[in-house]
């Protein structure tokens, strides 16, 4: 497979990541995961825009424009003959002798991207999946798509060890988001999801969800909800690039409503499917 390494298309076996790359040593960088459906980027511009915003918020200047990055990614898709999958993109502050201080301005950020084949999780999306709740122990800039994912990894691992798909995080009882997805509930036909503050990643899928809901007459409000409200909700579902729209049918071993994916979630799955076709 080919990869993009500092702006150039190269063989994966040909690249060298320095052991003093700040991403490797400090997690000093940001990333994106973009879906490829039918050989095309899904919401590519939105992801690349967010990459630039994440980078700027930690004072990294992305050395390429959105259209330059898009062209590189399209070349990568073509070279790798990717039809259904993801592109992972990462940018770090670059290579420099280990020091907590930022390196001098002449150090260029490292930029890598590679592809992976991936199908939609259709079976799980039909049946729904169980989740656990967990205290959100992350920092206060969850809006930045930072490489520092240790709390997210710990949360996902804990969910998996409990036989669950995702960990639904909360701060003192107020639900924020999953370890790698956003979460919404449905109460009396109304959809609720956490507002796009510093406490969550403003998911691109979440933004698509807001858009398709509003265009199709579904009421959706950006308002935080409690763990209690979530457990009593009619429906709970996740949204994310790899997760798509995923029904949650059980939380902490307690069934959500009748323990089946609900009608609003199913409708959103259909609307989402129409959008990616
Ligand atoms: N994760 N919240 C968190 C913490 C995430 O890591 C993600 C995505 C989302 C959903 O965002 P989007 O709809 O833009 O994918 C929400 C990616 C897929 C990952 O880390 O693999």
Catalytic residue among 145, 158, 215, 255: 145
Q: What domains sit in the chain, N to C, each tagged with a CATH number?
A: 2-117 (3.30.470.10), 122-276 (3.20.10.10)
The dihedral of CA 8, 12, 13, 16: what is its sign? Answer: positive
**152 CA closest ligand 1 atom index:** 4
* pLDDT for residue 277: 86
pLDDT in tens, 14-52: 999 999 999 999 999 999 999 999 999 999 999 999 999
Tell me whether residue 81 is one of the annotated catalytic residues.
no
Task: For residue 123, report the distance from its CA to the centre of ligand 1, in Å.
Answer: 20
User: From the CA of 166, how far away is ligand 1's center (Å)?
Assistant: 12
Q: Are strands 190-193 and 182-187 parallel, antiparallel or unpaired?
A: antiparallel
**pLDDT (0 to 100) of residue 198:** 98
- Global pTM reads 0.98
- Ligand 1, CB within 6 Å, residue ranges: 33, 152, 177, 180-182, 201, 203-206, 239-242
For residue range 56-99, list pLDDT tens digits in order: 999 999 999 999 999 999 999 999 999 999 999 999 999 999 99
């Amino acid at each position: 497979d080919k990869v993009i390494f500092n702006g150039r298309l190269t063989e994966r076996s040909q690249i060298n990541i320095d052991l003093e790359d700040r991403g490797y040593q400090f997690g000093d960088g940001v990333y994106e995961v973009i879906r490829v459906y039918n050989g095309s980027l899904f919401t590519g511009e939105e992801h690349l825009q967010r990459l630039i915003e994440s980078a700027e918020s930690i004072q990294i200047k992305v050395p390429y424009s959105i259209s330059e990055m898009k062209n590189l990614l399209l070349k990568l898709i073509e070279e790798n003959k990717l039809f259904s999958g993801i592109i992972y993109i990462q940018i770090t502050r670059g290579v420099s002798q280990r020091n907590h201080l930022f390196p001098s301005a002449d150090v260029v950020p490292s930029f890598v991207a590679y592809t992976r084949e991936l199908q939609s999780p259709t079976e799980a999306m039909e049946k729904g999946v169980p989740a656990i709740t967990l205290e959100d122990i992350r920092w206060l800039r969850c809006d930045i798509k930072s490489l520092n994912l240790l709390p997210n990894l710990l949360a996902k691992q804990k969910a998996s060890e409990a036989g669950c798909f995702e960990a639904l995080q909360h701060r003192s009882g107020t639900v924020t988001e999953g370890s790698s997805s956003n979460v919404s509930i449905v109460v009396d036909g109304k959809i609720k999801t956490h507002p796009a503050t510093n406490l969550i990643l403003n998911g691109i899928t979440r933004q698509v969800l807001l858009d398709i809901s509003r265009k199709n007459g579904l009421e959706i409000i950006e308002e935080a909800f409690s763990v209690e409200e979530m457990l009593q909700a009619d429906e709970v579902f996740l949204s994310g690039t790899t997760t798509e729209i995923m029904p949650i049918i059980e939380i902490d071993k307690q069934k959500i409503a009748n323990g089946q994916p609900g009608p609003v979630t199913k409708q959103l799955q259909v609307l989402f499917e129409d959008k990616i076709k």
